[in-house]
Amino acid sequence: MAVPAPRSKRLIWVGAIALAAVLLALVSVVGSTPAACSSCHRASAEGLAATAHADLGCYSCHAPSPGAVVAFKANELARMYSSQLTGGSVEDAPAVRVGDSAGRTCHASAIDAIEPTVARGLRILHSACAADESCVSCHAVEGHGEATRTPKGPSMGACVDCHTTTEAPITCEI
């Protein structure tokens, strides 16, 4: 068998690198669709479908900026895929924290309002009550409803604790 000349060896390398780049691009683009995420995260996807956020893509909340998408993609490739392939499970995932930026951008009118927001039988003034707290400390279930692993909602105790140590009223009116 003839030994390949150095030139054709180089061509093989160039071909292999190009193929790897195309595969990586394919995994990045196709693997970023909600359908691809849902193939491993079925419970989360079904939970999302039952909420008011059903029409959003996964990155809207989990990676809401180009920089965040790059970091999230690296996490998917390095940790999620390898964990799945080696018998890991999405239930073993470390606790995830969704940042505030998507919520602050989409809901600016509610959180900056000078009048309290009234919704679902509760009344709150976000600009005073939630200025230093992350959205998920009261809204963790907005992403996946009952499928949320660490569900957290607003707690009356926390409202009253703060309202009694500030000038805020503690009377109840809706």
Subset of 12-51 contacting ligand HEC (CB under 6 A): 31-32, 34, 36-41, 44-45, 48
Residues 6 or more apart whose CB falls under 8 angstroms from that of 73 comprise: 28, 32, 63
Which structure tokens are listed for 116? 């309290």
- Applying CB under 6 A, the span of 3-11, 12-20, 22-30, 116-124 interacting with ligand HEC comes to 116-124
Q: Which of 62, 68, 77, 145 binds ligand HEC (CB under 6 A)?
A: 62
Terminal CA-to-CA distance of the chain, rounded, Å? 86
* Greatest pairwise CA separation for the chain in angstroms: 91
Which structure tokens are listed for 140? 């963790």
64 binds ligand HEC (CB under 6 A): no
Kindly state the smallest distance separating residue 68's Cβ from ligand HEC, in Å: 11
What is the chain's length?
Answer: 174
Q: Which of 20, 24, 123, 146 binds ligand HEC (CB under 6 A)?
A: 123
Question: Which of the 8 DSSP states describes residue 65?
Answer: S
By C-beta, is 8 or 39 nearer to ligand HEC? 39
55 binds ligand HEC (CB under 6 A): no
